[in-house]
Structure 1
Amino acid sequence: MTEREETLLTRARALEQAIGEIGTTLDETTTCRELAAFLAHHLHGAVAVDLLDAPGAPARRAASTDLPPPGASAAGPAASRASRAGSVAARASAAGPVTFGAAPGASAAGPRASRASRAGSVAARASAAGPDAPSLAVPLAVHDEAPFGTVIVTRHGPGFSADEAAVLRHAARLAARHLGHVRRLAATEDTALHLQRALVAEPGRPHPNLEIAGGYLPAGPRALVGGDWFETVRLHFGRSLLVVGDVMGHGLDAAVDMNAYRTALREAAATDLPPHRVLRHLDSVVAQDDARRPATCLLVRVDPARGTATFAGAGHLPPAVFGPDGSAELVDLPVGPPLGTGVGGYEPTTRPLAPGETLLIFTDGLVERRGEDIDLSLARLAALRLPAGSGPEQVVEEVLHRLDAHHAEDDVAVLAARVRARPAP
């Protein structure tokens, strides 16, 4: 094997390793650290990765490695050929170093003045390793796309060969590709989460004779938003319809379907049908649209004048009622099929709801735990003892805290309601 063939083989192996070592997670800082570690190992120099968190923002040092002591760099044909490298400033300019954001006092002198300023910045960084230390800087970018930052490598001894420069550019592009994926995913998640929060945060207004409180928690800081939601609808004669539902799946599609269910529910509820007939209507409407995902749903019509609550469920978990003493009781309901199956078969259940009792309806993320039987999960909720006289807001806060819902594996939506006590005459 000739010297050139051996060099090309070494370069190919390095590029193959880069694919396996850079971008192993969806964390930007981790990707930058993996890039720095890879380059420090293969180019035997100090590496600095400066990252832009947003266009026009000042770059931050996301990762760096120390400069190896003199004589620690690789020797051999590649290092020998690298000795023909030019000066630090010339190499920095040729490599196209990039600094993001306008510098204080910057003028519109044009791209050449900007590049000269950036080259000087790179040379200043390299001077820390000595006046003759070779330095190479490339943009953290994929071809002509907007760069995410800059990668700078500085080392003792000989300059960088063309093969080493190619490894640096390839690794930087690879890292930039992963960073682009991470940021696009984060943008999609933020859009879905904002949509979900906007929909959940604005339920309809019940009658003033009913106190309500609700809460929504996504499953983790980076989880895709799901189709969990709750709603209140004002009915005639002082009654209110309370709703909680869960569209199967996650992401924007689930959020869009959730909004479709919510719209259809409002239209059906406006006819003042009893809860089980509202579910029948929703089931038939959704079953005609193959694009809609199935969903579970629980409806409760609260009638404060009569002191009753009428329930109807479509594949949903039963609600809980907290008494004035803080004890909990699960409401025994017949379980109908999820919405969208077209099967129907929903039945109503009515029970008293005293002014001192607080009703809690929720999605399965509140109680379900991986590998645990659902009966045990519901029993944990039923075993809760809250402070006596807890109202809707306190019930929501206490239940979310005691069931550790902030670390749940699925989205959580909860809605609590209590008949407002009438002032004494």
Structure 2
Amino acid sequence: MLDIASLVRVHVDALVAAQNDMGVCDAIRRNAPLGKPTTMSAPHLPRMAGIDPTVQVSAQTTEPIDEARAAPGAFLQDRLAGWVSDLTTLHELTERLARTRALDDALHEFLEAGAALVGARRGLVSFEPCDHRGPVSTIGLGLAHAELGRIETVPRSATSYGRVLEGLPTPDGPLTTTDLIGDRGLDPRRREVAADLGYAASYALPLTTDATGLLGAAVWLYDEPAEPPEHLRHLLDRYAGYACEHLARLLELERARTDVATVTEALLPTRLPRVPGVQLAVHHEVAPQGGNDWYDALALPEGALGLAVGSVSGSGPSALAATGRLRAGLRAYAVMEGEDPVAVLSDLEVLLRLTEPVPSATALFAYCEPARRTILLAGAGHTPPLIIGEHRTSYVETTLSAPLGMLSCWEAPSVEIAPAPGETVLLYTDGLLRRAGDSMDRAYARLHAAAAGVPRALRRDAAAVADHVVRTVLSNGAGRADGAEDVVVLAARFD
């Protein structure tokens, strides 16, 4: 057994302990013999929680706490708190930027976030990719269009962000001008514009990535002579690194969309034919990822007119190429046997089944004789035409048929209609109905209501009728604002 001669009471000096880093300390122990433990058998005074009545309260007090030396751990805690705050801010700003899906929206978000980080109120970003393929845009924060124009009158070589855009030599340090008004070494025009618009300092930043090179430059403007502290500049640099990568991705997406739209437009008619007795107009909206809806209108022998709309299933370059080939095939078949729409679509069925990789397609072809005001049409899995007039607004009852490519042999009877003078026939793709949102039945009802509500003053113009119908359908419904579907509306108004 251990022979413990006396009890040891340990006193911890709280003040000394508080002076150690991060609250971790070595206690200062004061050992004093307390004699024999006979007091353990003596009667005990009543005890209250945490209080020993046998211990006398000292009348002395320690020195005031404000005279104690500051704990080194507090400095580290402040630094850690600052780092956590910075990381939280970066996380929130990058999350907001990541939610942007369009290049202009991302530039706006980047400009606002940069202004918040460096404590500026105004600024601008000039987006000019160094490969000169576009797009090019200038976006301002807190600056009107006229004020942006005034700033752009300053020679680029006289501004820090302009020198970045022009590829001119720039200072090694931050692109900061702390006193635009008082610095007599600056370009007079730059100082004049700054004085007129009421800003006195600027901080510029190049936008660049390793893969794409220079994308543009941003500059933030201060109302008073100032510059951001070093840690804020570092924070902005970290945010800009992520933002530039995001902008580069959106740039490639924007260019891809532009290329798809260019190819899509090239596959469609450059102009609509002029045929006596009928007025033609088209409303076409291409989906951002590139849609496969198409239309055509061509003059045929003996004053006839061929009208067609259609859609190809699938997506991507192969579907887009199939769209062009189907339209080209339909034009050839329409010239050869356009007076028989069933034969035209039957030939198109064979072409699709034998040569195209897409599984199916819808199409509607109408053979019009404006002099007689008659239309002979046939459809393959396509939406029915709509007639709009003073006395009626109704869908044309077409024979139910499967889309092209779904059957080994396609054939369905044609339908003949006779529009009255002043009536407009609308041929459209199902993208209009899908973008209207909700179920197809309700989308059809919404389209009918929009057509019936065309103002009388607009019914003399086929283009006005088509635009009014599309605008009303897409604005009144649940609407797919992302524009994920093509919209094609081909209008033919008969005299």
| TM-score, scaled to structure 2 | 0.60
Distance 1:191 1:406, change over 3 A: farther
Deviation of the 1:37 alpha carbon: 5.5
Which one of 199, 220, 241 corresponds to residue 173 of structure 1?
Answer: 241
- Show CA shifts across 1:282-326 (max 9, x none): 122223346336332111112456653221101111112345x45
Deviation of the 1:333 alpha carbon: 0.6
Equivalent residue, structure 2, for 1:54: 128
Whether 2:95 is the aligned partner of 1:20: answer yes
Whether 2:361 is the aligned partner of 1:295: answer yes
SS for the counterpart of 2:208 is coil
- Show CA shifts across 1:2-47 (max 9, x none): 849947766655554443243431355654554455556666x437
Distance 1:153 1:330, change over 3 A: closer
Equivalent residue, structure 1, for 2:400: 335
Whether 2:298 is the aligned partner of 1:230: answer no
Deviation of the 1:182 alpha carbon: 2.8
* Distance across 2 between alignment mates of 1:389 and 1:99: 49
* Distance across 1 between alignment mates of 2:139 and 2:425: 52
Q: How does 1:243-392 map to 2 (within 5 A)?
A: 243-248=308-313, 255-272=320-337, 274-289=340-355, 291-292=357-358, 294-304=360-370, 308-323=374-389, 325-353=390-418, 356=421, 357-367=423-433, 369-372=436-439, 373=441, 374-377=443-446, 379-380=448-449, 383-384=452-453, 387=456, 390=459
The one-letter code sitting in structure 1 at the alignment partner of 2:126 is L
Deviation of the 1:233 alpha carbon: 3.1
Deviation of the 1:178 alpha carbon: 2.1
> Do the aligned partners of 2:176 and 2:203 also contact (CA within 8 Å) in 1?
no
Distance 1:134 1:239, change over 3 A: closer
- Show CA shifts across 1:93-125 (max 9, x none): xxxx6435788xxxxxx94xx315997863445
- Show CA shifts across 1:32-83 (max 9, x none): 554455556666x437653114359999563479xxxxxxxxxxxxxxxxxx
* Distance across 2 between alignment mates of 1:201 and 1:337: 27
Equivalent residue, structure 2, for 1:139: 206
The one-letter code sitting in structure 2 at the alignment partner of 1:139 is P
The one-letter code sitting in structure 1 at the alignment partner of 2:449 is R
Q: How does 1:100-249 map to 2 (within 5 A)?
A: 100=163, 111=168, 114-116=169-171, 122-124=177-179, 137-143=204-210, 145-150=213-218, 160-161=229-230, 165-202=233-270, 205=273, 208-218=275-285, 223-248=288-313
Whose Rg is larger?
2
SS for the counterpart of 1:242 is strand
> Do the aligned partners of 2:204 and 2:219 also contact (CA within 8 Å) in 1?
yes
- Overall identity of the aligned pairs, in %: 22
Distance 1:142 1:383, change over 3 A: same
What is the alpha-carbon root mean square deviation over aligned residues?
Answer: 4.6
Distance 1:363 1:210, change over 3 A: farther
Larger mean CA deviation between 145-154 and 276-285 belongs to 145-154
Which one of 407, 412, 416 corresponds to residue 491 of structure 2?
Answer: 416
- Show CA shifts across 1:166-200 (max 9, x none): 43222112122222233332333233334434444
Distance 1:36 1:126, change over 3 A: farther
* Distance across 2 between alignment mates of 1:398 and 1:14: 51
Equivalent residue, structure 1, for 2:465: 398
- Compare relative contact order (CA 8 Å, sep 6+) and give the higher one, 1 or 2: 1
The one-letter code sitting in structure 2 at the alignment partner of 1:415 is L
SS for the counterpart of 1:281 is helix
The one-letter code sitting in structure 1 at the alignment partner of 2:94 is I
* Distance across 1 between alignment mates of 2:113 and 2:369: 67
- Show CA shifts across 1:235-264 (max 9, x none): 344433211112346676654432222112
SS for the counterpart of 2:177 is helix
> Do the aligned partners of 1:31 and 1:179 also contact (CA within 8 Å) in 2?
yes
- Show CA shifts across 1:359-391 (max 9, x none): 332223445531142552454367457649955
* Distance across 2 between alignment mates of 1:199 and 1:10: 54
> Do the aligned partners of 2:115 and 2:123 also contact (CA within 8 Å) in 1?
no
> Do the aligned partners of 1:141 and 1:148 also contact (CA within 8 Å) in 2?
yes
> Do the aligned partners of 1:29 and 1:62 also contact (CA within 8 Å) in 2?
no
SS for the counterpart of 1:245 is strand
Extract unaligned runs of 5+ from structure 2: 1-21, 23-72, 144-159, 184-199
Larger mean CA deviation between 14-23 and 234-243 belongs to 14-23
> Do the aligned partners of 1:140 and 1:151 also contact (CA within 8 Å) in 2?
no
| TM-score, scaled to structure 1 | 0.68
* Distance across 1 between alignment mates of 2:85 and 2:285: 47
Distance 1:303 1:35, change over 3 A: closer
Distance 1:331 1:338, change over 3 A: same
> Do the aligned partners of 2:111 and 2:218 also contact (CA within 8 Å) in 1?
no
How many pairs are equivalent? 371
Deviation of the 1:149 alpha carbon: 0.9
> Do the aligned partners of 2:342 and 2:413 also contact (CA within 8 Å) in 1?
yes
> Do the aligned partners of 1:226 and 1:249 also contact (CA within 8 Å) in 2?
no
* Distance across 2 between alignment mates of 1:121 and 1:159: 9
> Do the aligned partners of 1:235 and 1:272 also contact (CA within 8 Å) in 2?
no
* Distance across 2 between alignment mates of 1:256 and 1:50: 41
